[in-house]
């Protein structure tokens, strides 16, 4: 069993599922409201665990009732939470998510306790791989990746400035189409692998600007795309650590991401390894 540590955000997702997403200044009044555990780091940790890895999570939650909800599925699935610290007098991070019937979403995040993840307090365990989520404080992610002795992955989850240490030391960088466009040629200058995701169109893997592999995403009926990117990242990291060839690893990750869109909610939708492998076989 591969071992993975994730440094990233932990949130409570407040989800409004509606027929369509609102345009600026408009209202949509047919939504159904639900609450789910979420946060990019927490999603990646649970995804890796359900795909078969031994997983630990490093992050921060508030001293409130929302923390218990945010951590519930991680505890239930056996993710090691020794690195998750409760911050007094601080709110747990919250994501406000609107989801359309098509599966598309809009997300606004109030990070709360996630901002209190400090680099000097990190004691990263000796494991096979580390995933750093860029929505966590940048200095904490940079220190974790710079000092970690193993396979490192970073998700540039928003198009914003990133510490050069992260880019220089990452063995794998994951971006979507808009993030890839924002970072531009700087990604091709890095020594590590770069995975560029294109939603339902699949993904491609590069090194030094040269394409190494491309994979299609299995055709599925998307219900909610929240968490699909986090699942892709966890699956690709795990597959590469396991020694899967680039093309097979990318296909596995695309199938995992697609599988995560078939149920509502970020963490409730995360697939098991059996579910991903069945989807892969059905796509052959």
Q: What would you measure as the largest C-alpha separation in the chain, in angstroms?
A: 52
Which letter, b or e, does each residue of 149-163 get, where b requires 16 or more Cβ atoms within 10 Å of its Cβ?
A: eebbbbbbbeeeebb
**Separation of alpha carbons 230 and 244, rounded Å:** 19
**Using an 8 Å Cβ cutoff, are 197 and 176 in contact?**
yes
Residues annotated catalytic, as ranges:
230
Phi, psi of 122 (to 5 degrees): -80, 125
Q: Which residues pair with 93 in a beta bridge?
A: 11
Q: Within 13 Å and on the Cβ side, how many CA atoms surround 9?
A: 28
Q: Within 13 Å and on the Cβ side, how many CA atoms surround 22?
A: 13
Q: Which residue has the tokens 């789910």?
A: 36
Strand 203-207 and strand 210-215: the pairing is: antiparallel
**Separation of alpha carbons 204 and 215, rounded Å:** 6
**Using an 8 Å Cβ cutoff, are 162 and 156 in contact?**
yes
């Amino acid at each position: 069993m591969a071992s993975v540590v994730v440094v990233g955000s932990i949130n409570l997702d407040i989800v409004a599922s509606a027929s369509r997403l609102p345009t600026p200044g408009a209202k949509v009044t047919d939504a159904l409201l639900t609450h789910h555990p979420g946060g990019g780091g927490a999603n990646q940790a649970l995804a890796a665990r359900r795909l078969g890895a031994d997983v630990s999570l490093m992050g921060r939650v508030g001293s409130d009732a929302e923390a218990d909800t945010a951590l519930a599925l991680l505890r239930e699935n056996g993710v090691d939470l020794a690195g998750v610290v409760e911050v007094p007098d601080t709110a747990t991070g919250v994501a406000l998510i609107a989801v359309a019937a098509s599966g598309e979403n809009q997300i606004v995040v109030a990070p709360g306790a996630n901002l209190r993840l400090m680099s000097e307090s990190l004691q990263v365990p000796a494991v096979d791989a580390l995933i750093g989520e860029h929505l966590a404080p940048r200095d904490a992610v940079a220190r974790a990746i710079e000092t970690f002795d193993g396979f490192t992955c970073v998700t540039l989850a928003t198009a914003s400035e990133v510490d050069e240490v992260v880019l220089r030391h990452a063995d794998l960088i994951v971006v979507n189409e808009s993030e890839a466009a924002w970072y531009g040629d700087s990604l091709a200058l890095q020594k590590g692998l770069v995975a560029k995701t294109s939603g339902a169109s699949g993904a491609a893997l590069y090194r030094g600007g040269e394409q190494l592999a491309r994979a299609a995403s299995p055709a599925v009926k998307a219900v909610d795309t929240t968490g699909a990117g986090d699942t892709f990242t966890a699956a690709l990291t795990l597959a590469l650590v396991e020694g899967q060839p680039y093309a097979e690893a990318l296909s596995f990750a695309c199938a995992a991401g697609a599988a995560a869109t078939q149920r509502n909610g970020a963490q409730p939708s995360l697939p098991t390894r059996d579910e991903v492998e069945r989807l892969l076989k059905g796509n052959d």
